[in-house]
Amino acid sequence: MNNYSLKLVSNFIFICACSTSGSLFAGGGSENDLSIIVHSSKIPLDETKMSLFDGKGFGATNVEGDNPKERIDYANGNVVSGVYSQGPGKAELVWPVTEHSCVQKGKVIITNMKSGHSNTLEAGDCWLVKRGTHVTWEVTEPFIKSFLIVSEAK
What one-character DSSP code corresponds to residue 114?
Answer: T
Tell me the average pLDDT across 114-138: 94
pLDDT at residue 21 tops 50: no
pLDDT score, position 76: 87
What pTM was estimated for this model as a whole?
0.72
pLDDT score, position 130: 93
DSSP string, 97-112: SEEEEEEEEEEEEEEE
The domains located in the chain, with CATH, are 46-150 (2.60.120.10)
Strand-pair partners of 11: none
pLDDT at residue 139 tops 50: yes
Three-state DSSP class for 146? strand
CA distances from 38 to 29, 95, 106, 114, 116 (A): 11, 25, 19, 35, 34
Give the helix ranges, DSSP H, for the chain. none
Nearest of 150, 154, 111 to residue 134 by alpha carbon: 111
